[in-house]
Amino acid sequence: MVQIHELSAVEQYRLIQRRELGVLEAVDHYLDRIERLDPELGAFHTVTPGAARERARMLDAADDRTAPLWGLASADKDLARRAGVRTTFGSRLFEQFVPESTDALPTQLDAAGTVSLGKTATPEFGLASYTENHVAPPTRDPYDLALGPGGSSGGAAVAVAAGLLPFATGTDGGGSIRIPAAACGLVGLKPSRGLVPAGSGVDSLAGLPVAGPLARSVPDAAMLLDGMIARHGDRIQHPFTLRAPVDDDGAFLGAALRGEGRFQIGLTTWSPWDTAYDIRIEPEAQDALAVARDALVELGHGLEEFTPEAAPQYPDAFRVIWQVGAGTLPADDTNEHLLEPLTRWLMHRGRALPATDLAAALGTLSAFERSIIRQFDRYDAVLTPALAQTPRPIGWYDAEDGERNFEQQCQYTPFTSFVNVSGLPAISLPVHVTASGLPMGAQLIGRPGGESTLLSLARQLERRLRWDTRHPPQY
């Protein structure tokens, strides 16, 4: 007999619509799995069974079920406030903080009909690409508990991969959706800047972080993305969009289910970090890229290798943004001892930088954005590795030496941050399995507003490679 967590989010939604699956029944199933499995996985900082069951009963009793995610279980990344629920931001500075108001993204998910089961784990203030903090035990990759799932949406990725949730939202300011998706064998989509009103990136420093979905399949990711976007009739409302309109001739789920089209694809292993660090692509990452490349060619797509222009000013400029962002944290001499060493280092470096350095960095990244969009424009999508290395062991990152830590993060994830700087959409796909059973991903980068093209390509690959049938031992 098929268990609830073995059903896709799309299948669960259809069953709930037909009243063949109760919302409370599904919520109880996931809460039971969280209670049994999460102690060794560390996917959640906080679980809210009482509130989840109360909302599930309310949704079960409702007659109008037209909301796009009606009755589906999810969770909030622990960087988003939800009224009455402990929100730590992954930091001892807020370890017992309970907000009185709810942020925009959880509010939108409520309006779309989801049931939040709690708060998923994140590194301190989401600053790192791995999910280890001093608030809770480290979050562990369900494919190998000695390894980390990446970050900063590591808890969300582990929860979905291990069948503790059907899907989950994350945020991505330098790869924080795509990195844990690749490490945990999931589909992770970073939308175009401005697409998701409740996580647009437009109002943040350098426009980097946006909200997006993590899921086990392409249709599930598309369905969640639809639910994250406020709609009026059949038209997507994206009031913060900066550039080209999104492909809004239908829901993203439709594009994912159809999986149609033939496209011209560029392939590159270039990274703007090449001039700053020794970036080496491990054989497992090369194998994953080759699997994706060969499958796309066999599917009839055009493919051309190319190398973008060197960007020697990019590394220093991005580092400035990372440090200045940490410089705004609400810490001073009275409480900064609660921060982790890396966060303190970042904060002090950011506060010491002159305004002229920030202005120069913003100018450099703006020019870089225009350059990347120009160079990528001749392709419908660009294929890169998702990560340069296999998932890193717990404790691998240097917690004391900020410079070394930054270098390690860039060496593990050299292909993600420049997509945030460029404001482009990108999707990480689990295309390969290593000899030791670890998932490895590839990344497709789209044009501004090109999510439908990415979902179509991803669905074609999914049909061919069937990664949605692979699961970790806990599943």
Enzyme catalytic residues: 77, 152, 176
Which position has the token pair 């470096």? 349
Contact between 117 and 73 under an 8 Å Cβ cutoff? The reply is yes
User: Closest by alpha carbon to 416, among 120, 89, 127, 129?
Assistant: 129
- Calpha distance 281→300 (Å, rounded): 27
Q: What is the CA radius of gyration of the chain?
A: 21
Query: Following DSSP, what letter does each residue of 198-231 receive, concatenated?
Result: GG-STTSGGG--EEEEEESSHHHHHHHHHHHS-E
Which position has the token pair 């996580």? 199
Q: What residues are paired with 395 via a beta bridge?
A: none
- Calpha distance 249→261 (Å, rounded): 15
Q: What residues are paired with 266 via a beta bridge?
A: 304, 382
User: Closest by alpha carbon to 380, among 246, 263, 243, 255?
Assistant: 263
Query: Following DSSP, what letter does each residue of 432-473 receive, concatenated?
Result: EE-TTS-EEEEEEEE-TT-HHHHHHHHHHHHHHH-GGG---T
E strand map for 263-361: 264-267, 302-305
